[in-house]
């Protein structure tokens, strides 16, 4: 039997799957990365894949003039929900999931950048992907967002929250998850983001190098926590594969 295939939608240079991709590949999954920002076309349906991973980017979910492929990415997410296909939307990916399923996204009054503590909600303790995060020390994750989900889609199950952002993670159906934070990144991954976002970070009273250094200091913890998270999601993709078996 061939390896489970995951369609990865990358919205911008420097925003790849990083450690999530590394863990999935090591788990035996085949990542098919589409980069519409570089001219790749997105498929009309996710039918040829076993999982869908939609990554982040500096644009917002309504910025189709800047990124005209966003509606196509939203269509894929909507179809994934209808099929209950294993899906993970990260940051912009979660925001696109929200909009695609009838929720709303707004500009955050208090953007989150850098490390942030997350608070599991009661449904997380019964969630296949998030349950391990409800035990022991509250999880922390890297944040880098100026937009946030204001109204969840109908039927969404909230899983995580934080002091500044009510909706940090939620689930649709049994197999579709969105996370506002970035489980895929470590210090080296965000170093370039700090360089390109110097102005916005300074406006928030943040020093880019200090943000990167703070993440670097927690790198071992982040690698273990979110690496395991990625592996669990990969195992769900493998267990629930629905795409046709390929030679």
- 222-240 pLDDT, tens digit per residue, is 999 999 999 999 999 999 9
pLDDT tens digits, one per residue of 79-122: 999 999 999 999 999 999 999 999 999 999 889 999 999 999 99
Distance of CA 15 to the CA centre of its chain: 11
Q: Is 220 a catalytic residue?
A: no
Task: Output helix, strand, coil percentages for the chain, rounded to the nearest 5.
Answer: 35, 25, 40
184 is catalytic: yes
Largest CA distance in the chain: 55
Average pLDDT over residues 20-46: 98
Q: Kindly name the residue from 11, 12, 91, 165 that is annotated as catalytic.
A: 91
All domains of the chain in start order, with CATH: 5-239 (3.40.50.880)
pTM strictly above 0.75? yes
Q: Which backbone phi and psi does 80 adopt, to 5 degrees? A: -60, -40
Give 48's pLDDT tier (boundaries 50, 70, 90): very high
- Is 182 a residue of the active site? yes
Q: Which band of pLDDT confidence, cut at 50, 70 and 90, is reported for residue 242?
A: low
Residue 245 has pLDDT above 50, yes or no: no
For position 37, what pLDDT does the model report? 97
Average pLDDT over residues 240-246: 58
């Amino acid at each position: 039997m061939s390896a489970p295939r995951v369609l990865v939608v990358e919205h911008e240079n420097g925003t790849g799957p990083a450690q999530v991709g590394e863990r999935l590949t090591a788990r035996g999954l085949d990542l098919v990365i589409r980069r519409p920002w570089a001219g790749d076309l997105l498929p009309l349906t996710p039918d040829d894949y076993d999982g869908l991973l939609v990554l982040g980017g500096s644009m917002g979910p309504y910025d189709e003039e800047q990124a005209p492929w966003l509606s196509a990415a939203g269509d894929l997410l909507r179809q994934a929900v209808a099929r209950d296909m294993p899906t993970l939307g990260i940051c912009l990916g979660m925001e696109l999931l929200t909009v695609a399923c009838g929720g709303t996204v707004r500009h955050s009054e208090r953007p989150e950048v850098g490390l942030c503590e997350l608070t599991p909600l009661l449904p997380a303790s019964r969630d296949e992907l998030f349950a391990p995060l409800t035990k022991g020390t509250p999880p922390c994750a890297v944040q880098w967002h100026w937009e946030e989900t204001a109204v969840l889609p109908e039927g969404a199950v909230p899983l995580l929250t934080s002091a500044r952002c009510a909706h940090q993670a939620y689930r649709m159906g049994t197999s579709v998850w969105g996370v506002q934070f970035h489980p895929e990144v470590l210090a080296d991954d965000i170093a370039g983001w700090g360089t390109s976002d110097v102005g916005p970070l300074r406006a928030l009273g943040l020093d880019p190098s200090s943000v990167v250094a703070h993440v670097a200091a927690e790198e071992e913890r982040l690698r273990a926590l979110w690496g395991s998270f990625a592996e669990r999601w990969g195992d769900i993709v493998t267990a629930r594969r629905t795409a046709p078996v390929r030679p």
